[in-house]
Structure 1
């Protein structure tokens, strides 16, 4: 009887921990076609995602709620600081939020982000990737790794300070 109660208690704790921790990043199996959508970056340039997939070994598309807020800044700075290492592995980084072109430009300049930020005010890119939206319409914090035009990794609760580290691990697993 004691073993049964202990086993049930352990399983209950494990289940509670997974709910508290939230969904985990996972290798996508089988990979599925990444959205071939267009968006506008912080310079006003139209970005064709299909071209990004074709021209790069990997594309990390990360979504964040709002430019120049604490968590989003930590996430972007993590990727900025890890950009050189990610680039060595063939990764192109693209950030997406429902901000305006002007807000994305100011955010990129303030923190010297070496990657494109997509201004997705109408939510087309957010919807194409099926990113959950917060009640205020902002994107949730998620990340997708695309290889050969297919999503091979998805992080439904992307980290802030560890985004680059998590992406590097995903790239290693996706080789």
Structure 2
């Protein structure tokens, strides 16, 4: 079943691009989280989306949120992607798509892993969801607007 606005965001622990474990619960009570699921490292749309989050990263952190990208790519792939594009935020490796399934992120055309962004407040509650495979900038804009409205 897909996660909806108002639900408590399911917790998870996965490896970041540096290999260290990251748990969603680590942010609870500390800061909001912008959790964006994307299909694949270093593809044109995912690069555009990730660089958009990079370019707005300071705005997100100033508003009290941490940005976390998540895909089924390996830790090594994330490390190369983050380094190549100077991504200042965490990318986590969901090999096997366990967390993607946990959140109910839909596939596009039944084939491509979906592109969905969740805004999770300090208490761990999902406050906004944006789902668009092709509106890359919309993920950044919608998340910022929802964060500033919280």
TM-score normalised to structure 2 length: 0.89
Of residues 22, 27, 42 in structure 2, which corresponds to 1:47?
A: 22
- Does structure 1 retain, via aligned residues, the 8 Å contact 2:130–2:139? no
Partner of residue 118, structure 2: 144
1: distance between equivalents of 2:25 and 2:100? 16
Partner of residue 23, structure 1: none
Q: Let me know the Cα RMSD of the aligned residues.
A: 1.6
CA drift of 1:160 comes to 1.1
CA drift of 1:167 comes to 1.2
CA drift of 1:54 comes to 3.2
CA drift of 1:110 comes to 0.4
Partner of residue 165, structure 1: 141
- Does residue 78 (structure 1) correspond to residue 52 (structure 2)? The answer is yes
2: distance between equivalents of 1:44 and 1:62? 19
CA drift of 1:172 comes to 2.0
1: distance between equivalents of 2:107 and 2:83? 26
Partner of residue 100, structure 2: 126
Structure 2 residue matching 1:96: 3-state secondary structure: strand
- Does structure 2 retain, via aligned residues, the 8 Å contact 1:53–1:146? no
CA drift of 1:162 comes to 3.7
1: distance between equivalents of 2:27 and 2:147? 16
Count of matched residue positions in the alignment of Structure 1 and Structure 2 = 144
Structure 2 residue matching 1:33: 3-state secondary structure: coil
Of residues 13, 25, 30 in structure 2, which corresponds to 1:38?
A: 13
Question: Which structure is higher in helix share?
Answer: 1
